[in-house]
Amino acid sequence: MTDNKFKNSIVPPLQENNEDGSLMSAIPHSRELGMRLVSRADDEAVLMIPYDPRLIGNPETGIMHGGAITALLDTCCGTAVMMSRKKPSSTATLDLRINYMKPATPEKSVYAHAHCYRATRSVGFVRAIAYHEDRDDPIATASAAFILNFKGDSA
């Protein structure tokens, strides 16, 4: 993989470093989906959901439901916001838009890579891609805004 390959990608490449995923076990619904934290860096996160027959959306094809990918992208974008250099103490999704390019392939894990490309005092802006192996062949892309909370903020 060359840098050139990612020149036009909406998020920069990130090396996988196989985190233990304990961050996800603190979020009950993410844990229930089998979500794992693959890697994280400043402003970025990579998460994945292993293929699971419970998440099938079409019993005839065995394809994972788009809703599971929505949850993956939301969590991944939120994690990238928490990794932003502004270091918020917590965050909440304001809006999340997902474009679906193709169905997920049955039996394959789905990855998501999110990049918080801008954070102001109150809002983090994020882009993300969901994919199997190749980020240039996305299942879905997402664009989201998150509200940032800091310790000592009034509610």
Partner 1 sequence: MSMDTPTSQTLDDAFAALTEKIPYISFLGVTFQRRGDEVSALLTYTPDLIGNPILPALHGGATGAFLEITAITSLTWVAALERIHSEPKWDGTFAPQPKTVDFSIDYLRSGKPQDAYARAIILRRGRRVANVRVEAWQDERSKPFIAAHGHFLLS
Among 14, 48, 71, 80, binds partner 1 (CB under 8 A): 71
Rg (the chain; Cα; Å) = 15
Give the nearest distance from C-beta 154 to partner 1 in angstroms. 16
CA dihedral in degrees (33, 111, 128, 45; nearest 10)?
80
Binding track, positions 17-56, relative to partner 1; x by CB under 8 A: ---------xxxxx-xx-------------------xxxx
13/70 with CB nearer partner 1: 70
114 belongs to the binding site for partner 1 (CB under 8 A):
no
Read off φ and ψ for residue 25, nearest 5 degrees. -70, -15
Q: Classify the C-alpha dihedral 142-22-54-132 as positive or negative.
A: positive
Q: Which stretch binds partner 1 (CB under 8 A): 14-22, 79-87, 88-96, 115-123?
A: 88-96
Give the nearest distance from C-beta 25 to partner 1 in angstroms. 11
Sole residue written with tokens 């903020």: 153
**Furthest-apart CA pair in the chain: how many Å?**
51
Read off φ and ψ for residue 5, nearest 5 degrees. -60, -30
Among 5, 17, 94, 137, binds partner 1 (CB under 8 A): 94
CA distance 114 to 96: 12
Give the nearest distance from C-beta 85 to partner 1 in angstroms. 22
17/58 with CB nearer partner 1: 58
Read off φ and ψ for residue 82, nearest 5 degrees. -65, -25
65 belongs to the binding site for partner 1 (CB under 8 A):
yes
State the residues that interact with partner 1 by CB under 8 A: 26-30, 32-33, 53-59, 64-68, 70-75, 78, 90, 92-100, 103
